[in-house]
Amino acid sequence: MPWIVLAVIVVLLLMMVRIVNQYERKVVLTFGKYTRVLTPGLNLIIPVMEQTIGVDIREKAVDVPSQEAMTKDNISCTINAVIYYRIKEDQVERAVLNVRNLDYAMTQFALTTMRNIVGQFELDELLAKREQAAMKIKAIVDEKSDSWGVDVLSVELKDINIPDDLKRTIGKQAEAEREKRAKIITSEGELASAENLTKAATMLSEAPGALHLRTLQSINDISSDQSNTTIWMIPVEVLEAMKGIASLAKK
């Protein structure tokens, strides 16, 4: 008989003891009504009368499935995201009492919000301002999930996919833009070169003897060429004389 009593006491003690880990909290319901939250360590409850529901308060990452959304400029795109959140320590009971399946609720609300936010951006703007769109989604989801005791830490848009034919069109536009920039750079270089040649010609014509020095330099450069090409050098004075004769002939 004493052994039976001892066994009953041991069983009751085991039923009364609740060990709570550092990363969790346990919500206590007494006859189905919320009464308190158990903190980390060893806790005691009243068997049968009280039951506990564990809540993990660590940061969680929840994938938001890919879905089609329409941008402001009526372009269909497929987008998915990930939500990082945690349950507030001082509002653990809300995650139990106010929502049945927290992860599912977060995912579904994020899907709706994401679709609405994408509709506020044109495609080019959405691709360029991905973080801004993610911040808008985070703000709305965080406000809604506050009643669930949730603190949304961040929302990241992982992939924004567009139809293949649109990808090809964008690729062609990018290639055309690169060619346009290359032509502009080339024309600017040619313009600068022409300006430099004009300045050099002006300097040579105005500086006495500069043209002769340039001619001698050219002769030196040509003489170092090992090719078999024969080049006849005509003195500048001869050319000037020929120009004078031509002018007299015209008169």
Q: What is the pLDDT of residues 108-167, one digit of tens each?
A: 999 999 999 999 998 888 888 899 999 999 999 999 999 999 999 999 998 888 777 666
Q: How far is CA 93 from CA 76, 104, 183, in A?
A: 41, 18, 66
Range list of H helices, the chain: 2-16, 92-97, 102-118, 123-128, 130-145, 164-206, 210-223, 236-250
CATH architecture of residue range(s) 60-167:
2-Layer Sandwich (3.30)
The band of 193, judged by pLDDT with boundaries at 50, 70 and 90, is confident
Phi, psi for 10 (deg, rounded to 5): -60, -45
- Is the pTM above the cut of 0.75? no
Which tens digits make up the pLDDT trace of 201-251?
666 566 555 555 556 566 556 566 565 566 555 565 555 555 556 565 555
Domain ranges of the chain: 2-56, 60-167
What mean pLDDT value characterizes the chain? 80
